[in-house]
Amino acid sequence: MISRKPFYAVVALLFLAGLALSLYRHFTFEVPWLPGEQRQVWSIEAKVEFEATGRPVKASLAIPGTQQGFTLLNEAAASPGYGLSFLERNGGTRAEWTIRRAAGPQELYYRVEMMADPHAEAPVPLQAPVIAPHTNQEPYATAIRQVLNRALERSADGFSLTRELIRELDSQQQNAELLAQYQDKPRLLVEMLNRAGIAARVVKGLELEDGRRRQSLIDLLQVFDDDRVEIIDPETGHPGQRDNLLLWERHSSPVLDLVGGVNSRVTFSMIRQQLPVNVALEQKFEDSNLLNFSIHSLPLEEQALFKGILLIPIGVLVVVLMRILVGLKTSGTFMPVLIAMAFIQTSLATGLIGFLLIVSMGLVIRSWLSHLNLLLVARISAVIIMVIGIISLFSVLAFKLGLTEGLKITFFPMIILSWTIERMSLLWEEEGAKEVLTQGGGSLLVAVLAYLAMNNDLIRHLTFNFLGLQLVVMAAVLLLGNYTGYRLLELRRFQPLARED
């Protein structure tokens, strides 16, 4: 007897490979396990307003990039008459509008779509700014020293120092008022941190709230300590990056650099959209590599085709389960799968009615054919033509009666229906109507179950998005092919045997 070990190894391998592929897709490409999951996409519009002075204008606006918590999906700028380019400067990206001559009020727009994305990371790691030496004049130097010393005593690292500084500025009223004259709070904090040997800078953030208009950026502290970076709100001292806080400018550059204009202003408006996750992901991984081995890289039409094809293994699995574990009889092994696929096109009720109508009508006509003493191939061909006739007839009838649902009857696989009719008819002649009902009912039951499985949103989502699951189905089918236990219906069949003694 051949050892079953290689067999189980293959099954385990298939199962693990399938699982690994699926996990890979889930974690690397963030494909969710459940369907219908949506991602928040923020559509943010920055509006730059200024008075042009009639000379050449150059307006350079800092723009955000993919960062922790947000992925940039796409960006666009609207600015009639202006030349536009996106530039890299100091590690940050800027949109730069230029025009030879402009006068009067000007409006420039920049729009960006950012997806809330817990997995997102900035493409380039942050670099800590150089600590600049500061010399302060009295009386500010004393005030700074007092605040800093108090805070240094009570802190352990750069982050706690920042928090303590903010707290000290709140409690030491006099010093705080004095220092407020010297510099605004965020920059003052950066200076004090630098004195303590901590790298820090001021960055600009935007608080995201659905439907807000004319918002402005807020100042935030970015504090570096060793390898760690934290964003700290200079007003409250609260740490952490919040879900609704987008860092607009991260390199201590001005938000807007304007040459040739006055009275400039940058305001932001934003709306939140919910995008289905696959649409959002498609945009995110648009230019991904070969490793992104998924159906999504195919053209849309082929995708739709595959959506159906990838469901067939599920239907097949249902048939295998029903036949091996339950022991249902079906007429034609995989005929139920094909019927189920037709049901998907037609919807269940229409499909069932259509199927029963065609088969029962076919059986009536077939019984007449059997008197004609025809050769088998000719007879099957006749049945095929007859089925097409019945389908056409029902379609026209349904259309005339205004039942557009009835038109879907054309989705049935005609050759399969013909064979079903032929087999049922023979079964009827040889074994009687009871066997026809058993096998026909069994086929229909399996078809309905396969339909329910194949039409399930979750299963559709999983099979389409996780190709690895096909391997898992394969492993399951192989395992089932090895099942030597009783079938459910055998428990009833052999039940008289169990009753004795």
Partner 1 sequence: MGFWSRPKFTRPRVLSDKGIMGMNRRNIDYIGRYNPRRLYPLVDDKLQTKRIALACGVTVPDLIGTISQQHQVRHLAEMVQEWPGFCIKPAKGSGGKGITVIVRHDRTGYTKPSGAQETIDDLERHVSNILAGLYSLGGKPDVALIEALINFDDSFEGYSFEGVPDTRVIVFKGFPVMAMMRLSTDASDGKANLHQGAVGVGIDIGSGRAIRAVQFDQPVDHHPDTGRQLSELQVPDWETLLQLSASCYEMSGLGYLGTDMVLDKLRGPMLLELNARPGLAIQTANGAGLLPRLRRIEALDSQRMSVAQRVDYAREHFSIAS
Residues that bind partner 1 (CB under 8 A): 1, 324, 327, 373, 375-377, 426, 430-431, 481-488, 490-500
Q: How far is the CB of 394 from partner 1 (least distance, A)?
A: 28
CA distance 112 to 46: 8
Q: How far is the CB of 7 from partner 1 (least distance, A)?
A: 11
Query: What residue has token string 């004090």?
Result: 192
**Do 398 and 405 touch, CB atoms closer than 8 A?**
yes
Q: How far is the CB of 496 from partner 1 (least distance, A)?
A: 6
Q: Tokens in use for 495?
A: 């039940």
Pick the closer one to partner 1 by CB: 4 or 119.
4
Rg (the chain; Cα; Å): 36
Q: Would you tell me how many other CB atoms lie within 10 Å of the CB of residue 440? A: 24
Q: How far is the CB of 436 from partner 1 (least distance, A)?
A: 13
Q: Which H or E run includes 69?
A: strand 69-78
Q: How far is the CB of 1 from partner 1 (least distance, A)?
A: 7
Q: Would you tell me how many other CB atoms lie within 10 Å of the CB of residue 263? A: 9
3-state secondary structure at position 306: helix
Pick the closer one to partner 1 by CB: 6 or 485.
485
Pick the closer one to partner 1 by CB: 156 or 377.
377
Pick the closer one to partner 1 by CB: 26 or 487.
487
Query: Running DSSP on this structure, what letter comes out for residue 133?
Result: P
Q: How far is the CB of 333 from partner 1 (least distance, A)?
A: 12
Q: How far is the CB of 6 from partner 1 (least distance, A)?
A: 16
3-state secondary structure at position 254: coil
Pick the closer one to partner 1 by CB: 116 or 369.
369
Pick the closer one to partner 1 by CB: 184 or 490.
490
**Do 58 and 94 touch, CB atoms closer than 8 A?**
no
CA distance 19 to 368: 54
Q: How far is the CB of 458 from partner 1 (least distance, A)?
A: 29
Amino acid code (one letter) for 307: K
CA distance 133 to 157: 20
Pick the closer one to partner 1 by CB: 295 or 445.
445
Query: Running DSSP on this structure, what letter comes out for residue 290?
Result: T
Burial of 420 (0-12, 13-18, 19+ CB in 10 A): buried
Cis, peptide link before residue 139, omega less than 30° from 0: yes
Pick the closer one to partner 1 by CB: 218 or 325.
325
3-state secondary structure at position 156: coil
